[in-house]
Structure 1
Amino acid sequence: MVSVSMETAEETETRLRRVIAAAEFVVHDGLWCFEESPAGSPPALTADTLAVVRDDESWSALVPFARDHGDVERFGVFSFHFPAGLDNSGFVGWLATRLKVRLGTGVFVVCGSNRAGGGIYDYWGCPADLADDAVAVVRELRADGPDAPGGPPPV
């Protein structure tokens, strides 16, 4: 369920710091890439395929990078699974902005839903050479949540 929150910027900051601290956070090993195929030929799904999306011209599958992928952009990937009933509205923009400000990089985010597992989940990708730095920012935000000793750092 998508939540609608009417709150001040400070209330949003506090809520989203609770969200990042409460979410299940996983760093996915290795390098990842997008494997493309024509719109008329959906990709074969494997146990390693994290996400598949399409537009009018092609399918794009997020898969582990292999040498036969050639010269494609490589990404580090991490994910969040949010607990049921947690208002995570605004999370993508909030975290993406922090990563852009801190690291200078944009990210991609693919969202899905698993009602049996709590609800919404996000896969986040960033350039492979910045993946460790992005994970460090996330870990810092999770440690500096509103329930951490001393509360959140200033905005």
Structure 2
Amino acid sequence: MKYSIRLSTKNDMKSVHNLIIELAVFEKEPDAIEVTVKNLMEDGFGKEPKFICFVAENDEEIVGAALIYKRYSTWKGEVLHLEDLIVKEQMRGSGLGTALLDEVVKYANQIGVKRVSWEVLDWNEPAIVFYEKKGADVKRDWDVVHLNENGIKNYLNNI
């Protein structure tokens, strides 16, 4: 299967948003998406972009994406966070996930970060196997902690 990987443009954000929705359905959280196409356009392509996104195209259709941003580790220094690596269901197993991850790792090396980090659901065994085959260290002894918007408000109301 032929595909190409490139940096996204503002005009790609509708397709990226559709991929995000597909991922949310796959992850059994279809109602969790709050980000809009407009948010993605503003946040990714404004005065101070908050993320970079690589997209994968097949026959001029966006069939995959990897959204990344820099963050800071108190132990390592500057790191790159892979928020999501998304491959359309019909493209899984085609090598597209590897190609997207390759671009992320090349970019990380180019900008000189100390680590690339991301999360994976503990039940997504195919993704875990994929990442481990690529040399990633899946930290099974760590739990992800979130404080959502309501949690933030409740927290502040109790201090």
The alignment's TM-score, normalised by the length of structure 1, stands at 0.28
User: Greater strand percent: which structure?
Assistant: 1
Higher relative CO (CA 8 A, sep ≥ 6), structure 1 or 2? 1
TM-score (norm 2): 0.28
Structure 1 or 2: more helix by fraction = 2
